[in-house]
Structure 1
Amino acid sequence: MSVKEAMETRRSIRKYAQEPIPREDIEEMLRLASLAPSAWNIQPWRFIVVMDPEKKRELHLAANRHPQVKSAPVVIILTSDMEDAIAHIEECIHPDMPEEGKQWLKETIPKVFGAQSAEQRGQWGVAQSNIVLGYLLIAIRSLGYDSSPMYGYNPERIRQLFDLPSHVQIPAIIAIGKRAEEGHSHHRHPLHRIVRYV
């Protein structure tokens, strides 16, 4: 469906049909999401695709027993790993960039983030990863699936479950599948409530 249709028909769904999602569809969702922009093209986001029933059961407990974690055939954990991104900064530099531009980035990015604490870098990475989250939700719907992003969970328990370093941030968990309920229609502010022209 078109981007407009995907945005207009997306709902937060908590009950899912018990149908598997083909691996190629999951990879297409993630490919589309990964086209999201990020400052300096750092792309700090990483994805853990949870399909194993036992892992989903453990995740359900770590995610405050949100019912959609059990119901959805696939749950994606969106993480942000700024330490890994900075350690491999050359992977983010466009190959067509002039050499002086490449060198500037190689020197500037570690200098800027090196002056910050791991916590500050982590917060910056979460802000960037929220961009990819928006892309992912629309990509999921554009392929005919539904989703529910979640924020209520125990991040430390999730780090333990999936062997993540302590610096890795977890901006969201996303349940994915075919809807088994219609969900609520949109209830959003009218533009005059949220937009100001100057």
Structure 2
Amino acid sequence: MAQQTTQERLTIQDLIESRHSVRKFVQETIPKEDIDRIFDLVRLSPSAWNLQPWRFHVVTDTDLKQKLQDAAYGQTQVTSAPAVILVTSDMEDVIRNFPETVHPGLSEEHKQTEIANLSSLFGGMSVEDRGQWGLTQTNIALGFLLVSLEGFGYSSVPMLGFDQEKVKEILGLSEHVKFAAMVPFGRADAEGYPHHRYELDKIVKYH
């Protein structure tokens, strides 16, 4: 399905218009090659200062998915999906690795100035505040992920209805990590609801 969709070269308009949440999936293994190609696109998401705080945890193990479903209050799409992505933000990891985010084309002096400025800015924030800042950036990558999945022929459903502390325990994640979403995905085995959205005059204001 992914190969077919790629060959069709759908436009971004096609992908956005066709994407909708699905909660029942075909029981088949998703090739790791497809997942890698999807994340090759997602990692191009923009972020302020290029800090890229997003981290993705892909779960395909049946037992782990069952634990995630339990943490998601029994929502069956979690185990119906062949794979589940936990979209997280880890600003503490970013802070430990500022040099990795600075553009290699900058002069050494400019690099060191950039690192010093970032260290001063985020070092003056609490762990919670910089975690929330990183989450706003990670939500950009979440949007890229949903459209990229659609582009490779996979349906998905972004979720926030789960016990975040239990999921951290299941995956061995640090307390400071923030969640943007849990995203079960695979080939659709049922139709989702058609789009029901506000009209433009509700959400767009011209000034």
TM-score normalised according to structure 1 size: 0.97
**1:110 alignment partner in structure 2:** 119
Q: 3-state DSSP class of the match of 2:52?
A: coil
Structure 2 residue aligned with 1:81, among 84, 90, 112?
90
Structure 2 residue aligned with 1:122, among 104, 119, 131?
131
Q: 3-state DSSP class of the match of 1:76?
A: strand
Deviations 1:130-183 (A, max 9, x none): 000000000000011100000011111111111111111111100110011111
Q: State the alpha-carbon separation in 2 of the partners of residues 17 and 156 from structure 1.
A: 29
Opposite residue 57 of structure 2, the aligned amino acid is I
The answer to whether 1:140 aligns with 2:153 is: no
**1:162 alignment partner in structure 2:** 171
Deviation at 1:117, TM superposition (A): 0.6
**2:5 alignment partner in structure 1:** none
Q: State the alpha-carbon separation in 2 of the partners of residues 195 and 46 from structure 1.
A: 31
Structure 2 residue aligned with 1:2, among 2, 11, 26?
11
Task: Map 1:1-150 to 2 at 5 A.
Answer: 1-150=10-159
Q: State the alpha-carbon separation in 2 of the partners of residues 57 and 164 from structure 1.
A: 18
Q: What do you get for the CA RMSD once the two structures are aligned?
A: 0.9
Q: State the alpha-carbon separation in 2 of the partners of residues 31 and 76 from structure 1.
A: 15
Deviation at 1:2, TM superposition (A): 2.1
Q: State the alpha-carbon separation in 1 of the partners of residues 78 and 158 from structure 2.
A: 10
Deviates more, 1:32-41 or 1:91-100: 91-100
**Matched residues, percent identical?**
45
Q: State the alpha-carbon separation in 2 of the partners of residues 167 and 24 from structure 1.
A: 31
Q: State the alpha-carbon separation in 1 of the partners of residues 13 and 153 from structure 2.
A: 13
Structure 1: runs of 5 or more not aligned: none
Opposite residue 183 of structure 1, the aligned amino acid is G
Deviations 1:40-87 (A, max 9, x none): 000001010000000101111111212110100000001111000110
Q: 3-state DSSP class of the match of 1:111?
A: helix
Deviations 1:24-44 (A, max 9, x none): 111111111111000100000
Q: State the alpha-carbon separation in 2 of the partners of residues 19 and 5 from structure 1.
A: 25
**1:186 alignment partner in structure 2:** 195
Q: State the alpha-carbon separation in 2 of the partners of residues 133 and 141 from structure 1.
A: 13
TM-score normalised according to structure 2 size: 0.93
Q: State the alpha-carbon separation in 2 of the partners of residues 20 and 2 from structure 1.
A: 27
